Amino acid sequence: MVSIIILNYNGKEFLEKCLSSVLGQSYSDFEIIFIDNASQDDSFGFVKKNFTDSRLKCYKAEKNLGFAGGNNFGYSYCSGEYIVLLNNDTVVDKDWLKYLVQTIKSDRYIGIVQSLVYTEGIPVKYYEMNGTINLLGHNVMGFFEIDREGRGEILQANGASVIINRELIEKTGRLFLDEYFLYAEDTYLSLKARFCGYQVLHNSKSIVHHKGNATTGKQVRADLYFYQERNRLLNFFLFFDSKFIAKYIPVFILNYKLKFLYCLFSKKYSMKGLFRSYFWFWKNIKWIKKQRKIIKGYKEVKDNDILRMISCKIFNGENILERFFNCILFLYCVLTFIKVYENAK
């Protein structure tokens, strides 16, 4: 059986289409664990009133636990062999779950499989190949091939729609660290799988239509930017060894300087959130060391095997300035023997 966790925060307007599409799946052996993250729009009451399917089980958190904590809360109620995380602002195709289950069951060393998630506003060209993350923790596109069956190996699974082998979760203790709250927790989960020796795959036949930013668009910008910046970088400090971290510090500083400039000229970025994110690292060194020790206890794969799937490409664009910064970081990786995707071949 599959347990599908659908986490909701003030997403009442999306729930009828989302839940109806899941309940109409061709693969029927599943339960839905609907978690309401202390919404103020009566989402919980709406679901209880309008959906009576016995496979749907509803639970309410007393406070907003974020994506990480909310899914951890949902996992505590799951009884399935496989766990699916699905965003509330999605509509899934009829065979969405069937293809996820087929793929993850095909090999016991597959830890995570992601769907093809069509997000509003994202150009079609970005779905032709799978992307990865760069050394700043951002998504960069066009790296990994997708075969004729719609499958392809990837570094990071998109948290909007993923199926997870329960064995991976039990081996590492939990789904997420509650402290992540939101953003880059899917990178955290994928790195856990990779370092434990599991594969992370993509399946283009499992199709999801995603609104995007339906919940986070209602949050305070400075808070969102704090989690974005901190969590993207935190993944590197938690999972990679001290030799890499020593080489990573200049990249960490470069990221700060670039983001500082962006904050001066763009409303998309928050100076308050940026300062808060970097201050957090200095304030929580003991916590970071503790988590590093826990992760080291289950790591089975060497850092270089993971780094070779990570890009040093800072920007997706091809203008002169973007190419200049991409070149600078590439040269730095070569000189410091950091074996990323571009120089590991």
**pLDDT for the residue 149:** 86
The CB-side HSE value for 251 (13 A sphere, CA atoms) comes to 27
Predicted confidence (pLDDT) per residue in 79-112, tens digit: 999 999 999 999 999 999 999 999 999 999 999 9
Rounded-to-integer distance, Cα 201 and Cα 110, Å: 7
More confident residue, 197 or 344: 197
What CATH number is attached to the domain comprising 134? 3.90.550.10
The pLDDT value given to residue 148: 85
| Angstrom distance (rounded) from CA 203 to CA 104 | 10
In the chain, how many domains are there?
A: 2
Instruction: Summarize the confidence of residues 55-69 as an average pLDDT.
Output: 96
Q: Which residues contact 281 (CB under 8 A, 6 or more apart)?
A: 230, 233, 234, 237, 288
Residues 280 and 147 occupy one common structural domain? no
Residue range(s) defining the domain that contains residue 256 = 217-343
For residues 71 and 156, membership in a common domain is answered with yes
Q: Are 67 and 175 in contact (CB under 8 A)?
A: no
Q: Which two tokens stand for residue 286?
A: 């003991």
Residues in CB range of 182: below 8 A, 6 or more apart: 66, 67, 68, 216, 224, 227
Nearest 5°: the CA angle 343, 281, 314 is 30
pLDDT at 214: 59
Same domain, 43 and 124: yes
Q: Is residue 32 located within the same domain as residue 6?
A: yes
Verify that 45 and 187 share a domain, yes or no.
yes
Shared domain check, 106 and 45? yes
Report whether pLDDT(185) > 90. yes
The predicted structure's pLDDT at residue 141: 84
Is residue 219 scored above 60 in pLDDT?
no
Indicate if 164 and 66 belong to the same structural domain: yes
CA distance 328 to 321: 11
- Confidence tier at 1 by pLDDT (50, 70, 90): very high
- Domain-ending residue, one of 163, 184, 215: 215
One domain for residues 139 and 101: yes
Please tell me whether residues 61 and 170 are part of one structural domain.
Answer: yes
As a whole-number percent, the residues of the chain with pLDDT over 70 amount to 98
Q: Which of 215, 249, 284 is the last residue of a domain?
A: 215
Among residues 277, 263, 109, which one has the least CA distance to residue 184?
277
Q: Give yes or no: residues 96 and 15 share one domain.
A: yes
Q: What percent of the chain has pLDDT over 90?
A: 81
234 and 155 in a single domain? The answer is no
pLDDT of residue 344: 84
Query: What pLDDT, on a 0 to 100 scale, did the predictor assign at position 35?
Result: 98
When pLDDT is averaged across residues 129-134 and rounded to a whole number, the result is: 90
Longest dimension (CA), the chain: 62
> Is there a single domain that holds both residue 275 and residue 142?
no
Task: Give the CA distances from residue 19 to residues 6, 10, 22, in Å, rounded to whole numbers and listed in that order.
Answer: 9, 15, 5
Q: What is the average pLDDT across 251-271? A: 89
> Which 3 state secondary structure label does DSSP give 134?
strand
Tell me the mean pLDDT in the region 167-186: 94
Higher pLDDT pick, 216 / 338? 338
8 Å CB contact between 92 and 83: no
Q: How confident is the model at residue 128 (pLDDT cuts 50, 70, 90)?
A: confident
Tell me the three state secondary structure of residue 113. strand
Q: Please state the rounded mean pLDDT for residues 336-344.
A: 93
Give the pLDDT score at 126. 80
Residue where one domain finishes, among candidates 176, 192, 215? 215
